Structure 1
Amino acid sequence: MTVQKIENMVGALALALSDSFMLATQEQAPELGPAAAALALLGHEPGMPIERLRRALGLSHSGTVRLIDRLVAGGVIERHSSEQDRRAVALHLTKSGEEKCAAILAVRQQRISCALKVLDPHELEALGKIAEKLLKNQVHNLDEAYCVCRLCDAAACVNCPVSAALDESKAAQKL
């Protein structure tokens, strides 16, 4: 198999998986992508400031504020004063937002599980090691980490490779 074919197949697989769970989450977060990712990020990090969310979602500041306005109006997030900086806004999920976040992560996990069920345990373990290596290579700073993990289930990712990559990057910078 040629490298070009492998690269093409990995791209097609990534797109197929992404499309599958992004479409499946649409019922929980009607704005395909950014709203679902915002809920997942806030579920992982309650109190996230608008600027951190903006960078993770790759939106403009005004686009992020409009998204937040819609999510507040939808009753899934709330704005609070930040405990670290009274000028900043801390974003938190409401009870309804927590339920939607859980549903988004569940449907994402179900779609990925369904796609991977064709692999035997050894193949699945090998894929896990390859995915870990590839993820570590994608992350060089905190903004990239939030972007890569914007729809991750943090509770499922013990010893997260993205966090490990950040730690390794910080250690290398201190040397």
Structure 2
Amino acid sequence: MHNRLANLLGAASLAVTDLAVGGATRAAGVSASGAGALVVLAHAPGLGVTELGRRVGLTQSAAARMLDGLEAAGLARRAPGPGRGVQVRLTPAGEEAVDAVLTARGAPLATALAALDADERDRLAALLGKLLTGLYAEIGDAEVMCRLCDRECCTDGAVCPVGQAERDAAGGEKAAATP
């Protein structure tokens, strides 16, 4: 049995993803994982290649190839890390690309939301917060879920529902581990 609401959500999710990711990738001239990597590195400079890949959904070898492309484009660089590790950091051009990615990602989302009046947008925000909290229970990783998020606008005067779900889950794990 097919559920109309689920189907509508799927179609809207795909359309919004196509618009947002398409704008982000064009803005930086990189792949979707490359755009995600730039945003991730803006919030977590110095990650290793393996962790960066995990956050954008790539294996270590695929992440290394993606990073080769970011380095060739002058957007990121590898540097020695602790021990034998390697840290990845944005270059100044990479930092500019992050701004372009977030702007290009946000513009079609704002256009899509313009179809709703203020009250509808407020209700949708509350519902999306609830939906994201439930999705966190399935995915279990805020860093993965928020890899293309404009974190400043998400937390300006509000609490990020994904971050809150992660804090709640961590608190529950601590409580469960305490005898």
- Give the structure-1-normalised TM-score: 0.91
Gaps of at least 5 residues in structure 2 are: none
Q: Which whole-Å deviations, capped at 9, do the CAs of 1:131-166 have from their partners, x for residues lacking one?
A: 111111122499621221111011111121111111
What is the correspondence of 1:15-164 to structure 2 with a 5 Å cutoff?
Answer: 15-82=14-81, 85-140=82-137, 144-158=141-155, 159-164=159-164
Q: Which moved more, 1:98-107 or 1:20-29?
A: 20-29
Count matched residues: 172
- Give the structure-2-normalised TM-score: 0.89
Distance in 1 between residues matched to 2:56 and 2:100, nearest whole Å = 20
Distance in 1 between residues matched to 2:45 and 2:140, nearest whole Å = 17
Distance in 2 between residues matched to 1:39 and 1:143, nearest whole Å = 22
- Contact 1:23/1:32 (<8 A) preserved: no
Distance in 2 between residues matched to 1:155 and 1:68, nearest whole Å = 25
Amino acid at match of 2:92: K
In structure 1, the residue corresponding to 2:95 is in which secondary structure?
Answer: helix
Q: Which whole-Å deviations, capped at 9, do the CAs of 1:98-151 have from their partners, x for residues lacking one?
A: 111100000111110000001111110111011111111122499621221111
1:167 matched to which residue of 2?
167
Gaps of at least 5 residues in structure 1 are: none
- Contact 2:140/2:166 (<8 A) preserved: no
- Contact 1:40/1:151 (<8 A) preserved: yes
* RMSD between superposed Cα atoms in Å: 1.9
Distance in 1 between residues matched to 2:14 and 2:42, nearest whole Å = 24
